[in-house]
Structure 1
Amino acid sequence: MKANWKLIGSLFATFLRMGPLTFGGGYALIPVIEKEIVEKRKWLQSEEVADIVAVSGSVPGAVAVNSATLIGYRIAGLGGALSALLGIFLPTFVLMIGLSLVYVQMKDNPKIEAAFLSIRATVVAMIVYAAIKIGKTAVVDFATGALAAVAVCLLLFGGSFVHPVWVIVFGALAGIAVVKIRALLGRKTKLEEKEPVYDYMI
Structure 2
Amino acid sequence: MPSTGLSGRKAQAARNDQTILAAAREVFLHDPTAPMSAVAEAAHVGIGALYRRYASKEQLLRTLCAAGLQRFVEIAEHGATVEDAWEAFAGYVSAVVDSDVHSLTVHLAGTFTTTPELSTLAGRAAELGNALFRRAQEAGALRPDLHPADVPMLFEQLAAIRFGDNERTAALRRRYLTLLLDALRPESARTPLPGEAPTPDELSGRWRPTEPA
Tell me, yes or no, whether TM beats 0.5.
no
Higher relative contact order (CA 8 A, sep 6+): 1
TM-score normalized with structure 2 length: 0.28
**TM-score normalized by the length of structure 1:** 0.29
